Copies of this chain bind each other. A is one copy, B any other.
Amino acid sequence: MTSSISKLSDLLSEKVKNTNRVIEENLSSEEAPIIGDIASHLIKSGGKRIRPLLTLAASKLFDYKGSKDTFLAAAIEYIHSATLLHDDVIDRSEIRRGLKTANIVWTNKYSVLVGDFLFSRAFQLMVKTQSLKIMKTLSDASAIISQGEILQVGIERKLHVSQEDYLKVIKGKTSALFSAACQAGAEITEASETHIKALRDYGECIGTSFQIIDDLLDYLGDESQMGKNRGNDFFERKITLPIIHAYEKSSEAEKKFISRIFKKPKPNHHDLNDLLEVLENKESLLYTKNQALTWSERSIDALQIIESSEIKTLMTELAKEIMTRTS
């Protein structure tokens, strides 16, 4: 994935630079300097900034000449950061991107409130685009995101959840913002409704693929590259696609075995290894990877109606490379 992200960043280097400036400039608050400390801790900790890059790419795809895309891209990154701050409180996470999380360094109180602040700042930046269409796209997306997170809490430890219901969780917590990032990037341009819809679909499908690979990496990944601990989802009792698949494919006896592992009050690494063995037996990681591939292909299909260009090629490449990401 790094390759197409680097190429996109190079191609859009001026825009990326301006977006990063907007992101940094709006983090600080004279009245409450701690906001800047906390927000910077997260935002400058080396996230890939893939969502704002997609916004810039979507605008460029339709040859956008203005400067509103940078405000929009920064707003997208702020919404993303706000959800991360709140997620870490909810999941009691201790490590993100290889650093202690804000809730650990500054307490939950600050993480909740600085999340709220970033969310408000995102809407302030959106106002600068002077587009009601964009306000609608992003406020709709925000509602779907929180709804997805709420659904996710609802399925905690529920091994019998269906793949269909789990997809609703993913669409909320991840795909909605990818989709809005691409859609809004197109909406500030002269793009037709059909083209805007194509971008929305591209974003939704690539976001879904991205999240499914995330589920996979949690059981497969290299800790030093991921910046978080392997098996995190398991230790947080999160039911993700590999688990749902394995459980579906299990006999009653096997289901009881999985269930027992998930019910342990303090699961340890032996439990994780037991679970990995089940995932192996049921070929659940392979299945998960194939599902990610399907969504990646769908995202590429969505772009078919768009005229060829260097940006389009890179967006297609990005969808393929999502499959090989390691962090």
Contacts and interface: CB of A to CB of B under 8 A. Distances in A.
A18 to B, nearest CB: 21
Nearest to A156: B109
A150 B90 contact: no
A151 B32 CA distance: 6
Interface stretch (A3-11, A40-48, A59-67, A127-135): A127-135
A265 interface: no
Contact of A123 (B34, B123, B145, B149): B123
Contacts of A146: 113-114, 116-117, 120
A119 B113 CA distance: 13
A163 interface: no
Contact of A150 (B32, B83, B86, B108): B32
A136 to B, nearest CB: 5
A150 B35 contact: yes
A117 to B, nearest CB: 4
A246 interface: no
Interface string A20-52: 000000000101101100000000000000000
A225 interface: no
Chain A: interface size category: 35 or more
Contacts of A90: 108-109, 112-113
Given A31-B151, A31-B168, A127-B132, A139 B113 contact: no
B31 A147 contact: yes
B113 A149 contact: yes
Given A120-B139, A120-B142, A112 B127 contact: no
Nearest to A125: B139
Contacts of A138: 123
A120 B139 CA distance: 6
B150 A117 contact: yes
B119 A116 contact: yes
A168 to B, nearest CB: 6
A127 B135 contact: yes
A127 B136 contact: yes
A32 B147 contact: yes
A109 B120 CA distance: 20
A124 interface: yes
Contact of A86 (B35, B83, B113): B113
A143 interface: yes
A89 interface: yes
Given A123-B142, A147-B31, A153 B117 contact: no
Instruction: Kindly name the residue among A32, A126, A142 whose own CB sees the greatest number of chain B CB atoms within 10 A.
Output: A32
7 contacts: A31-B151, A32-B151, A34-B150, A113-B150, A119-B142, A124-B139, A127-B139
A-B residue pairs, 8 tightest by C-beta: A120-B142, A123-B139, A120-B143, A117-B146, A116-B146, A124-B139, A90-B109, A127-B136
